[in-house]
Amino acid sequence: MGGCRMAASSRRSSSAPLPPALVEELATGRILFASTEFLELSGYPSGELIGRAAAELRLWADQKASDPVLAGARSTPVRASLRTRSGDIREVLVAVQPGAGCALATVAVPVENGSRLHEIVQSGKLFLELVENCRDFVCVATLEGQVLYVNPAGRRLVGIAPDADVTGASLGDYYTKDGARFVRTVVHDRLVEQGFFHGEVQMRNPGTGEVIDVEMDSFLLPPQTPGDPPLVASIKRDVRETRRLQARLAQAERMESVGRLAGGIAHDFNNMLSVVLGFTDLARGRIPAGHPAAADLDEVTKSAERASLLTKQLLAFGKQQAIHGMAIDVNEVVRGLERTLRQVAGDRVQVEICLSPGQSVVSADPGQLEQVLLNLVANARDAMRSGGVLRIATGEEVLDDEAGHREALPAGRYAALSIRDTGTGMDRATLERIFEPFFTTKRPGSGTGLGLATVYGIVRQTGGAVQVESAPGKGSEFRVLLPRTDRPTPRSVQPLSRPAAAKRHARVLVVEDRVNLRILVERCLREAGYDVVAAESGAGMAEAALKADVLLTDVALRGPSGPEVAAELRRRAPRLRVIYMTGHDPEAARALKPSGRLLPKPFKPEQLLEAVRAELDDAA
Q: Does 476 bind Mg ion (CB under 5 A)?
A: no
CB of 161 to ligand ATP, least distance (A): 38
Distance CA 48, CA 588 (A): 51
Select the span of 2-10, 63-71, 212-220, 420-428 touching ligand ATP (CB under 6 A): 420-428
CB closer to Mg ion, 179 vs 451: 451
Select the span of 158-166, 445-453, 526-534, 544-552 touching ligand ATP (CB under 6 A): 445-453
Please give the size of the binding site for ligand ATP, defined by CB under 6 A: 22
Select the span of 159-167, 432-440, 523-531, 588-596 touching ligand ATP (CB under 6 A): 432-440
CB of 421 to Mg ion, least distance (A): 12
Select the span of 17-25, 159-167, 297-305, 451-459 touching Mg ion (CB under 5 A): 451-459
Taking CB under 6 A as the criterion, the residue among 430, 489, 516, 537 binding ligand ATP is 430
Select the span of 50-58, 63-71, 421-429, 531-539 touching ligand ATP (CB under 6 A): 421-429
CB closer to ligand ATP, 423 vs 538: 423
SS3 for 583? coil
Task: Decide: 481 and 467 in contact? Cβ < 8 Å.
Answer: yes
Q: Does 451 bind ligand ATP (CB under 6 A)?
A: yes
CB of 466 to Mg ion, least distance (A): 13
Distance CA 527, CA 334 (A): 41
Please give the size of the binding site for Mg ion, defined by CB under 5 A: 2
Q: Which of 451, 462, 386 is nearest to 419 (CA)?
A: 451
Q: Does 380 bind ligand ATP (CB under 6 A)?
A: yes
Distance CA 302, CA 277 (A): 9
> Please, which residues bridge with residue 237 across strands?
215
Q: Which CA distances in Å does 240 have to 36, 206, 237, 473? A: 15, 17, 9, 24
Beta carbons within 8 Å of 463's beta carbon, 6+ residues apart: 363, 409, 482, 483
CB closer to Mg ion, 36 vs 379: 379
Q: What is the dihedral of CA 164, 167, 168, 174, to 10 degrees?
A: 60
Residue nearest to Mg ion as judged by C-beta position: 451
Residue 2: Cβ within 10 Å count: 10
Pinpoint the alpha helices (H) of 287-351.
292-317, 330-345
Q: Does 424 bind ligand ATP (CB under 6 A)?
A: yes
Q: What is the 3-state secondary structure (H, E, C) of 126-151?
A: HHHHHHHHCCCEEEEEECCCEEEEEC
Residue nearest to ligand ATP as judged by C-beta position: 451
Taking CB under 5 A as the criterion, the residue among 379, 418, 461, 476 binding Mg ion is 379
CB closer to ligand ATP, 361 vs 377: 377
The DSSP letter of residue 186 is I
CB closer to Mg ion, 442 vs 526: 442
Taking CB under 6 A as the criterion, the residue among 141, 434, 611, 616 binding ligand ATP is 434
Taking CB under 6 A as the criterion, the residue among 117, 452, 466, 576 binding ligand ATP is 452
Q: Does 423 bind ligand ATP (CB under 6 A)?
A: yes
Q: Is 147 exposed, middle or buried, given 0-12, 13-18 or 19+ CB atoms closer than 10 A?
A: buried
Select the span of 84-92, 224-232, 442-450, 581-589 touching ligand ATP (CB under 6 A): 442-450
Q: Does 315 bind ligand ATP (CB under 6 A)?
A: no
The DSSP letter of residue 410 is -
> Please, which residues bridge with residue 234 across strands?
139, 218
Interstrand relation of 531-535 and 507-511 (parallel, antiparallel or unpaired): parallel
Residues 389-408 that bind Mg ion (CB under 5 A): none
Q: Which partner, ligand ATP, Mg ion, none, binds residue 441 by CB below 5 to 8 Å per kind?
A: ligand ATP
The DSSP letter of residue 174 is G
Helices (runs of H) and strands (runs of E) counted in the chain: 22, 22
Footprint of Mg ion (CB under 5 A): 379, 451
Footprint of ligand ATP (CB under 6 A): 375, 379-380, 383, 421, 423-424, 426, 430, 434, 439-442, 447-453, 476
